[in-house]
Amino acid sequence: MEIVPFIAESAADAARQVRERLGPEAVVVQVRPVEPGTRSWFGKKARTRFEVLAYRPEAQPESGPAIGVAPRERLDLVAGDEPLSPVKVENGARHERSPAKARGTNGAGLAPAAIDPVDATPLARSGGGSWRAGSLLESAGLLPHEAQGVVDRLRKDHGDSAPPAMADELVLVKRALKEGWRNAVPMLPTGGETHVLVGAPGVGKTTSLSKWLTQVALGEGRPVRVWRLDGQTANTAEALAVYCDVLGVPLARRWCDGDGADPGESGFVDLPGTDWRDATALAKLVEQVKGLGAVRVHLVLNGAYDMTLMMRQVRAFSVLPIEDLIVTHLDEEARWGKLWNLVLGTNYSVRFLGAGQNVPGDFRLATADQLLMRQFPA
């Protein structure tokens, strides 16, 4: 991977240079202002420019055919001691959901998430027949019931006898996992959408928003607008205002009726973190998001957290019309395999994977191949 530096006069100039030199797939890894330190002949300070570092990602080899996985019934996560009604997960249709269907609501106008129960009782190691994949998947971070589900699908499609060679068994395991992956609903190519990032305090919402808007403003060269709003607590993310100023992106501190992204423009709303254990705080967040109108809501999770905690946060925030998940802090977590719990154990897709606190830093579209390469290196 070769990092290429650019010196740009504006966000539009940077986007043009990056696309011309590295192509539309280029990834921006750093943006920083460069103070000229001189004055022009007219006595005015020269305009501040900024340095952009970017690279062209390496092409990934195409994967083999996926194994068919039959739909199965799943149960919502138990919040306290009250079990929730089962929700059917149609794996085969996940890639064809429209944005409206992806945001389907229950009777209260809220989007439910189907999540497996997280039981504190230790479970036996998953397995069945001669398949050895269960223990391997659990050691990679999958919860026992998710690992057992993969083994059950393997036994259904290939019988109780696993291939003699472990390498051949791993090929089938990878294909079964990929069959469970579902792509995030595409963004409108014409823009005009407003995105709201929600989550617990400290999970990296503002950092993720900054990285995302950099990709849109610099990588795609499209106009962007940001709202930094207060919630039940004040929004103290002053760094976001500084970064918007560097990129030349307008930022507002209040939301007025009729606000939102204009046609051809991408909008981002930054909200303070919400205590997911506080029912009152969650109810106020629901009302605030409703007041924003037609927006796309993304839940941000800290990938370094314990998996049980992450799943409980997903369940708590499912009172919102969550569309998909953004997982951060992956530079602090070696077992990326545990992210399959979010893929297999919920009805949500994973849109972005983020690592590090630097902006724009490491922030990429999530794919099954990325997880598998980290889970089963070489």
- H or E element: which one contains 34? strand 27-34
13 and 153 co-located in one domain: no
297 and 155 co-located in one domain: no
- Note the pLDDT of residue 42: 47
CA distances 153 to 7, 68, 94, 134, 216, Å, are: 52, 9, 18, 11, 39
241 and 347 co-located in one domain: yes
- Note the pLDDT of residue 377: 79
Q: Which amino acid is at 212?
A: W
40 and 113 co-located in one domain: no
Residue 364: inside a domain: yes
Among 125, 146, 180, residue at a domain's last position: 180
242 and 106 co-located in one domain: no
The pTM is what?
A: 0.71
Residue 63: inside a domain: no
- Note the pLDDT of residue 93: 35
Residue 166: inside a domain: yes
- Note the pLDDT of residue 359: 81
- Domain that residue 307 falls in: 193-375
Among 151, 180, 209, residue at a domain's last position: 180
- Note the pLDDT of residue 369: 93
Does residue 225 contact residue 369 with C-beta atoms inside 8 Å?
Answer: no
Residue 310: inside a domain: yes
User: pLDDT 10s digit of each residue in the chain, 378 long?
Assistant: 567 787 888 777 887 888 888 887 777 777 777 665 544 444 555 566 777 777 776 654 443 333 232 233 332 333 333 333 233 333 333 333 333 333 333 333 333 344 443 433 334 466 667 888 888 899 889 999 899 999 999 999 999 999 999 889 999 999 999 999 999 998 887 778 999 999 999 999 999 999 999 888 888 888 999 999 999 889 988 889 988 988 889 999 999 877 888 888 899 999 999 999 999 999 999 999 999 999 999 999 999 999 999 999 999 999 999 999 999 999 998 889 999 999 999 999 999 999 988 887 789 999 999 999 988 876
- Note the pLDDT of residue 91: 36
103 and 172 co-located in one domain: yes
Count of domains for the chain:
3
Among 155, 180, 205, residue at a domain's last position: 180
CA distances 306 to 42, 118, 151, 374, Å, are: 59, 12, 23, 18
Burial class (CB in 10 A: 0-12, 13-18, 19+), 241: middle
- Note the pLDDT of residue 92: 35
175 and 138 co-located in one domain: yes
CATH number, domain of 313, equals 3.40.50.300
371 and 321 co-located in one domain: yes
